[in-house]
Amino acid sequence: MAAGATPIQGGRWRRAWWAIDERLGLSGLAYPVPAHANGIGYILGGISFFGFLILAATGVWLVQFYSPSPGAARESIAYITNTAPLGDVVRGIHFWVANLVMATVLLHMGRVFVTGAYKRPREANWLIGVGLLAVTLGLVFTGTVLKWDQEGYEALQHNVEIGELLGGLGFWFTPEFTDTLPIVGRLYMAHVVILPALGTFLLIAHFLLVKRHGISAIPEVADAAVAGTGPAPEKGGSTFAAHLIRMTGFGLLILAGATLVSLVWGASLGERPNPAIEVTKPWWMFLSFYPLEDWWGLTALLWGPAILFGGLILVPFVDRSPWRSPARRRWIIAIGAIVALVVIALALYAGLTPPAAHVQEAGG
């Protein structure tokens, strides 16, 4: 044996593991993390991440058959659904996992909000999270347009109208931006290149900061340390490797669930778009803005989300006390609860009322 080399003992499996670990350094992932990091509330971000991996894998399959032009887009989706190998199941998984990821991202944000985990030193990571929320919504929105059915076309009409309302700033969102590529081609590029690249960049920053700061302590423990009445928050109890395994388990559960559901209820595809009518409603995550548009017109689609996102950005700057438990942060928890209830009530109202026409016609 060469001088300095580690003697390898034990059975065949152990030796194989050491050989792999010596080259890949996998045991470095077994660094300590607090036990609560494995609780469901603290693993929702990891589940969202696993969901993004499923979306990327299924998306790669879908782009083999999708044609991003106004004349062929809807028919290529019909081809994926009816003819392409595994097309209907892969499309169904992409659709259902997109819904689940949206839900887990919102729940993850809710957990971070309720436990005050956006406080010093994690303010920047909260802001990066707000960016990730915008990217996730952007992915859902552009994905809807790609279907190029009635629903997708109406979503595009709103995209164009908002672009026009924004004037110079919204120029990219209108068909007039270029004569060389129809807007569906540019939204396709946004869906498969621009937003995934931006999301990846933000995710890397998000994860590096989680590693840098460590996962936040449970609020009661953090507060006891601030008040000087309890021990310092725990640093160990589990390992990051165990956390990854648990996250993978939840991720595979999501994949299995989405596969089963998509065998029964595949993703829908509506009729060819009729530019003269407006009869569909948006996906559930955009539904809350729908009544605002009914009551105040298209401009509400600008200021509604702007107020919501502006509020989210302000959270770490207005709640600056050192306390983390909800009982000591009653006013911000109350505001958060009221906003969440209003958003849910608006979405329910929109879901129960008949669709209304808001915009007239958009270019293709």
Q: How near is the Cβ of 265 to ligand HEM at its closest, in Å?
A: 25
Would you give the end-to-end CA distance of the chain in angstroms? Answer: 70
The nearest distance, CB 119 to ligand HEM, in angstroms, is: 9
Q: How far is the CB of 213 from ligand HEM (least distance, A)?
A: 6
145, 152 contact by CB (below 8 A): yes
Is 34 in contact with 219 (CB distance < 8 Å)?
Answer: no
List, as one string, the DSSP characters of 250-301. HHHHHHHHHHHHHHHSPPP--PPP-TT-------GGGTTHHHHHHHH-TTHH
The nearer residue to ligand HEM, 84 or 132, going by C-beta atoms, is: 132
Closer Cβ to ligand HEM, 66 or 286, answer by number: 286
> Do 355 and 136 form a contact (C-beta atoms < 8 A)?
no
> Looking at beta carbons, which residue is closest to ligand HEM?
129
Q: Give me the residues that bind ligand HEM (CB under 6 A), please.
A: 42-46, 48-49, 105, 108-109, 112, 117-118, 122, 125-126, 129-130, 132-133, 136, 203, 206, 210, 215-216, 312
How far is it, in rounded angstroms, from Cα 324 to Cα 333? 11
Instruction: Return d(Cα 361, Cα 364) in angstroms, integer.
Output: 10
C-beta closer to ligand HEM: residue 216 or 288: 216
227: buried, middle or exposed (CB in 10 Å: 19+, 13-18, 0-12)? exposed
Q: In the complex with ligand HEM, which residue's Cβ is closer, 108 or 158?
A: 108
* E-only strand ranges, the chain: 32-34, 237-239
By beta-carbon proximity to ligand HEM, the closer residue of 151 and 223 is 223
User: Closer CB to ligand HEM, residue 305 or residue 364?
Assistant: 305
Question: Nearer Cβ to ligand HEM, position 186 or 206?
Answer: 206
Minimum gap (Å) between residue 198 Cβ and ligand HEM: 11
| Smallest distance, ligand HEM to C-beta of residue 45, A | 2
Taking the complex as a whole, the smallest distance from the CB of residue 97 to ligand HEM amounts, in Å, to 13
Residue with tokens 């601030």: 226
Residue 193 DSSP one-character state: I
CB of 54 to ligand HEM, least distance (A): 12
Which residue type occupies 228?
A: G
